[in-house]
Structure formats: C-alpha cells, structure tokens
C-alpha cells in the first residue's frame, strides 16, 4: 500500500489542468526533440567515440545495455501504452464534461465525465507503486561518505560564486532573484564543514552500468565517492509513465520517498549531502526535496539540517524545486541547475519553470516553487566548436564535456567548490 506521503494527491481539477499544461509544453517545444541525442553531424562522424569517453551511444561499451533497454521497451510497451493512452483518452472525456459546464451545470451527472480520469490515474499509481520501481543504492551508502575532503577554494570565492547567480537568458550572469522577499537569500554553502555524502539519481532508459559510468565521471571531476540511487528502467514507455506520475501529477513515488528517507538519515548524522539528478532523476530529486521541505515545516531540526543539503540537477525535467526559509532568513537547500538551450526536456522542465524561457500561453510559472540558479549552455559556436556540438540532453555526451571545457557554468558554485580536477578531465573530454 502507498505510504502516507505517497498517498497525497492533487485535486482532480488540478491534475487535469497540469496534464493540459504539459501537453501544451510538448507541443511548444516539439521541434527540439530532434536535438535530444545531439547533432546529426556529431553522430554520423562518430566524434563521440573520440571525444566522449564512456559514451552511452558507444555500442562497443554499452551494446548489451542498449539491447536490454530496447527489448524491455518492446515488452513493456503494451502496458505503458495502455496506461498513458487511457489517461489521455480520459482527459479528453474530462474536458468534454468541463466544456459542458462541469459539476456547477451538470450536477451529479458530471461524474460520468470525471470518473474515467479519476480511475485511470488511480490505476497508474497502483501499477507504479511496486517494489521494482524503488530507488536502489548500487553501492553501500557508507561508500558515498567522504570524510575530511579539503576544498581548494576560499569562503570569499564561494560567496562570490553564490552572488553571481545563473544565466539571465541573454548570455550574461544574473544576480539572485528574491522570490520570497527582499531579505530572503540562498543559503551559502560552507567551505569547511562536516563529512559529505554524495548521491546521484539517473535519468530514463539507463541501465545500472550506464548510471555507474556517470557516477564515475562525477567522481573523476570532484574527487568524491558517489553512490547511485538507481531508478530502474523497463523501457522508454514505462519511464515516461513514471515521469507522468512524478512530475505532472506531483505524486511522491517510491523512488522519491526512498531518496528523501536516505537524505534525511544522512543529514541527521550531521553530514553535508550533495544530491545530483539527471533528466527524470531531476523529477525524483525535486519530489524528494518537496517531501523534506514538508517534513521541515513541523520539525525545526529537519529545517536546520536542510542548510547542509546541496542540490545540483542536469537537464532536469522537473517543474518545481521547493525550498524552506531557515531561522536566519536564508533559503535551503542550496540548488543549481545546468541545461542546454536546445534540449527539449530542459525546455519543458527547468528552463521553463525557472523563468528562463519566455512564458508559454496557458502555462503558469510560479516563482515561489522554484529554488536555484540556472546555468544555460547557449547554442553558439566559435572557430573551434560549432554551436550544436554540445547541444543535447545526455549528461556524459553533452552537458558534462561542455561544463569541463568551460563553455558554461564556470562561476557556478558546483564548479567553484567541487571542480577540483577540471583541467585533468578537460583534456580527456574535449
């Protein structure tokens, strides 16, 4: 049975409105879907073989994993198609009832139009609320604890990185945006602090080997041990159904609850927790943070511990990143987000809901539900690098090499505080 937190649901009207909102976003940014895997020129010339170590598109390394994902997607397609298709069909029925006046006009008869959506969403939750969809650590959490790792940066430098902020949408750095009042500022991560626990949540259609390879790249840059909180994949269709549940319907799923519990346990031990998520992992991280913020509302100890939580997402599909105001008036946890301008997933997620992109008609963006600067890899080139070379959705193939090469995020807190091996990694990736 779902836990108490996973049992919480939005009102049916809000769920229907959010479904419509996301369909509008998909339509608005559909042209960018072709850029998900990067430019055709980059793929055809197989430059990823030479310039992207551990590329997920390199069949000699991940051929078996790609085959597994492909077969799993075929086998799970009937279930995934039935789930998503029935929800969309039920949404059409709901909207017909809404156009006819809804409960105010139809009275009890309105339930005829509302029941299909209510029931299909219930079925979706039950199907995805099974242990196979848990977030599973691929190594003991203890292995992710980094004791006494010194930082090669001063507190003044870190403070300056916080004050610079992210991309304002015009290629320039923008200062903090105070969405909760003029006296509310982001919590400044400390240079000297407790032991660190690093956790990473993978994106869709990734196997354990792919997720581990990403964690290895993070470790190579930061010098930290990283544990993957693995969100298993049964193929593209089921992963999309999970995204529908976790993002569009704002449901705290099994993976997000597992993650929130793990993070809270580590914070309770006095550790600093660095939480990273890619793509769908950004949704899971977002939901976990929302759960922690909700717990903090009734527990001063949890609230204070959120000052030791840092969140960094990459190509996140999330539509919110919650925060809490601590006793000294700062926002916690600290958060930053890294995206490519042409990435369709980011455009439907962090780029839209951070306010970086222009407003889409019918899509509400609420500043008070978004925490964290956005660093955007702009689609522009120079004599050595064409503009599309780093544009794409993948972490190891697109965002990570661009981040290491200094194409964006140079002044981010993440790179300032943890990019200790940037120059060494840069020579491998570019």
DSSP conformation letters of 168-193: -SSSSB-----SS-TT-EEPPPPSS-
- Collect all residues with Cβ–Cβ distance below 8 Å to 242 and sequence separation of at least 6: 128, 133, 204, 231, 253, 255, 280
Task: Decide if 367 is inside a domain.
Answer: yes
Residue with more model confidence, 160 or 1: 160
In tens, the pLDDT along 176-211 reads 343 343 344 555 565 556 789 999 999 999 999 999
The mean pLDDT value for 75-92 works out to: 94
Element of type H or E holding 201: strand 196-201
CA distance 321 to 330: 15
Nearest to 18 by CA among 87, 119, 111: 87
Task: Decide if 58 is inside a domain.
Answer: yes
Task: Decide if 2 is inside a domain.
Answer: no
Nearest to 234 by CA among 77, 81, 85, 120: 77
Instruction: List residues bridging with 230 in a β-sheet.
Output: 136
Mean pLDDT of the chain: 83
Q: What confidence score (pLDDT) does residue 410 get?
A: 87
Task: Decide if 187 is inside a domain.
Answer: yes
Number of folded domains that form the chain: 1
Task: Decide if 6 is inside a domain.
Answer: no
Q: Which domain holds residue 152?
A: 12-429
Task: Decide if 1 is inside a domain.
Answer: no
- Collect all residues with Cβ–Cβ distance below 8 Å to 232 and sequence separation of at least 6: 132, 133, 136
Terminal-to-terminal C-alpha distance of the chain: 49
Task: Please give the share of the chain, as a percent, with pLDDT higher than 70.
Answer: 84
**pLDDT surpasses 50 at 175:** no
Backbone angles phi, psi at 281, to 5 degrees: -60, -30
**pLDDT surpasses 80 at 231:** yes
Task: Please give the share of the chain, as a percent, with pLDDT higher than 90.
Answer: 42
Task: Decide if 5 is inside a domain.
Answer: no
pTM of the prediction?
Answer: 0.90
In tens, the pLDDT along 292-314 reads 999 999 889 999 999 999 999 99
Any idea which of 158-167, 292-301, 360-369, 399-408 has the lowest mean pLDDT? 158-167
**pLDDT surpasses 90 at 97:** yes
Task: Decide if 161 is inside a domain.
Answer: yes
């Amino acid at each position: 049975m779902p836990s108490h937190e996973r049992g919480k649901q939005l009102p049916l009207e809000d769920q229907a409105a959010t479904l419509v909102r996301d369909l509008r976003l998909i339509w608005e940014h559909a042209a960018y879907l072709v850029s998900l895997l990067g430019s055709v020129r980059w793929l055809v010339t197989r430059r990823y073989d030479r310039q992207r170590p551990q590329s997920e598109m390199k069949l000699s390394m991940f051929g078996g994993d790609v085959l597994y994902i492909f077969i799993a997607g075929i086998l799970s397609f009937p279930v995934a198609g039935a789930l998503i298709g029935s929800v969309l069909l039920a949404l059409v029925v709901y909207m017909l009832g809404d156009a006819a006046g809804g409960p105010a006009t139809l009275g009890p008869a309105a339930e005829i139009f509302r029941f299909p959506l209510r029931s299909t969403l219930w079925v979706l939750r039950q199907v995805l609320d099974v242990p196979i969809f848990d977030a599973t650590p691929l190594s003991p959490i203890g292995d992710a604890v980094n004791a006494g790792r010194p930082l090669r940066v001063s507190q003044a430098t870190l403070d300056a990185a916080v004050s610079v902020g992210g991309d304002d949408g015009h290629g320039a750095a923008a200062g903090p945006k105070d969405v909760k009042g003029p006296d509310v500022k982001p919590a400044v991560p400390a240079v000297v602090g407790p032991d660190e626990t690093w956790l990473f949540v993978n994106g869709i259609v990734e196997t354990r080997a792919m997720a581990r390879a990403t964690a290895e790249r993070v470790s190579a840059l930061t010098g930290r041990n990283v544990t993957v909180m693995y969100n298993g994949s049964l193929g593209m269709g089921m992963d999309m159904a999970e995204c529908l549940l976790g993002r569009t319907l704002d449901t705290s799923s099994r993976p997000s609850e597992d993650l929130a519990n793990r993070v809270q346990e580590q914070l309770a031990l006095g550790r600093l927790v660095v939480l990273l998520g890619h793509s769908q992992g950004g949704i899971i991280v977002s939901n976990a943070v929302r759960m922690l913020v909700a717990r903090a509302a009734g527990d001063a100890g949890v609230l204070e511990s959120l000052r030791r939580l840092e969140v960094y997402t990459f190509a996140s599909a999330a539509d919110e990143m919650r925060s809490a105001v601590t006793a000294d008036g700062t926002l916690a946890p600290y958060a930053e987000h890294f995206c490519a301008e042409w990435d369709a997933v980011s455009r439907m997620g962090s780029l839209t809901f951070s306010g970086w992109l222009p407003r889409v008609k019918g899509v509400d963006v609420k500043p008070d539900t978004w925490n964290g600067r956005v660093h955007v890899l702009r689609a522009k080139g120079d004599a050595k690098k064409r503009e599309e070379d780093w544009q794409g959705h993948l972490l190891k193939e697109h965002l990570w090499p661009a981040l290491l090469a200094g194409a964006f995020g140079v002044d981010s807190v993440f790179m300032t505080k943890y990019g200790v091996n940037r120059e060494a990694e840069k020579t491998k990736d570019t």
